[in-house]
């Protein structure tokens, strides 16, 4: 079993970025490497968070050294939050080299750029993820806002989101926090060449961050275990829901990963899977 390389934010306290993804994948039994794009004391939504962002030369050097000594040992790469736009180019180079040395290397791009109708990163970072990283990705896991922004589309419902996801470059796109078909539920919408699947579960009101990071890691892990996309979607959604529900019940600001690690390995929550009809047209965003 080869190593999974995570390239995302690192927090000293909390359960977002590399911290949550690394924990989840190691709990599933994978060997994990982690490269930080930015270092924060905690999620910025939890208070003042002075960042440490590696300068371009340092970040490029870190990935270059990793490429020189270990690219043939990387079985999968997952990128998330970026600290600068230029990091995208260095990550793209590493992905290409890892694939050249190991053609089976999977790349999942989690385009962490915004939510609730707006970008929370500089537009140059969002552009770089769209232009440099998404075209290389086998799998992408945008939320509903990110999917629409990356596709340059207005969306009004799940059918529009399916069309927007289909317009993106990766073979498999999973739209997290998608509007669900059942009232009081929220969904994860998988779009690939064969399926349009909606995985629904009851919506949970929680202040905890990191659910998107958690879902992306779990989906990748289940695929690497040999699960079908349908089963990987179901299991990743079930684990994420159980952990979200535990955070909501306790009122915690962070996901209770250690306390709920059984839910990572053996989820039991019932997830409603619906097959959706494809919608091939896409309504462009007005200029």
Give residues with Cβ within 8 angstroms of 121, minimum separation 6: 81, 82, 112, 113, 114
- pLDDT band for 159, please (50, 70, 90 cuts): confident
Q: Give the separation between CA 141 and CA 143, rounded to whole angstroms.
A: 7
Matching residue, tokens 């064969």:
194
Sequential DSSP letters for 54-69: --HHHHHHHHHHHHHH
How far, in whole angstroms, is CA 160 from its chain's centroid? 21
For residue 255, the model assigns a pLDDT of 95
Are the beta carbons of 49 and 43 closer than 8 angstroms?
yes
Q: Which two tokens stand for residue 78?
A: 């997952």
Radius of gyration over every alpha carbon of the chain, rounded to an integer in angstroms: 18
Gap between the terminal Cα atoms of the chain: 48
pLDDT above 60 (res 287) = no
Which region, left, alpha or beta, applies to residue 235 given φ > 0 means left and ψ of -120 to 50 means alpha?
A: alpha
Mean pLDDT of 147-171: 89
pLDDT above 70 (res 156) = no
Mean pLDDT of 187-198: 93
- pTM (2 d.p.): 0.94
Highest-scoring range by mean pLDDT, 41-50, 67-76, 121-130, 246-255: 121-130
Q: Which of 83, 68, 187 is nearest to 129 (CA)?
A: 83
What's the CATH architecture for 3-275? 3-Layer(aba) Sandwich (3.40)
- CB atoms < 10 A from the CB of 211, how many? 22
Q: Which two tokens stand for residue 167?
A: 């317009």
pLDDT above 90 (res 244) = yes
Mean pLDDT of 220-247: 97
Matching residue, tokens 């990110």:
146
- pLDDT tens-digit map of 90-119: 999 999 999 999 999 999 999 999 998 799
Domain ranges of the chain: 3-275
pLDDT above 70 (res 284) = no
Q: Give the separation between CA 80 and CA 82, rounded to whole angstroms.
A: 6
Q: Comparing 278 with 202, which gets the higher pLDDT?
A: 202
Mean pLDDT of 52-68: 94
């Amino acid at each position: 079993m080869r190593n999974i390389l995570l390239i995302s934010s690192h927090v000293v306290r909390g359960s977002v970025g590399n911290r949550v993804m690394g924990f989840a994948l190691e709990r599933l039994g994978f060997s994990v490497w982690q490269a930080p794009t930015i270092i924060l004391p905690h999620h910025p939504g939890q208070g003042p968070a002075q960042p440490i962002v590696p300068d371009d030369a340092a970040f490029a050097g870190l990935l270059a050294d990793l490429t020189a000594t270990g690219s043939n040992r990387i079985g999968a790469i997952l990128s998330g939050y970026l600290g600068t736009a230029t990091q995208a180019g260095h990550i793209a180079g590493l992905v290409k080299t890892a694939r050249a040395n190991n053609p089976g290397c999977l790349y999942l791009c989690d385009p962490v750029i915004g939510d609730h109708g707006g970008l929370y990163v500089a537009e140059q970072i969002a552009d770089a993820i769209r232009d440099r990283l998404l075209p290389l990705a086998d799998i992408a896991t945008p939320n509903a806002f990110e999917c629409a922004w990356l596709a340059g589309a207005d969306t009004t419902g799940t059918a529009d989101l399916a069309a927007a996801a289909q317009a993106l470059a990766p073979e498999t796109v999973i739209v997290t926090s998608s509007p669900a078909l059942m009232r009081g539920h929220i969904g994860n919408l998988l779009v690939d060449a064969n399926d349009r699947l909606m995985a629904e579960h009851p919506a949970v009101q929680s202040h905890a961050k990191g659910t998107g990071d958690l879902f992306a890691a779990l989906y990748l892990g289940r695929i690497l275990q040999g699960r079908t996309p349908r089963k990987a979607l179901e299991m990743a959604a079930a684990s994420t829901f159980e952990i979200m529900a535990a955070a909501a019940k306790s009122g915690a600001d962070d996901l209770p990963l250690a306390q709920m690690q059984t839910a990572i390995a053996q989820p039991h929550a019932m997830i409603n899977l619906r097959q959706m009809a494809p919608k091939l047209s896409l309504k462009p965003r007005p200029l």
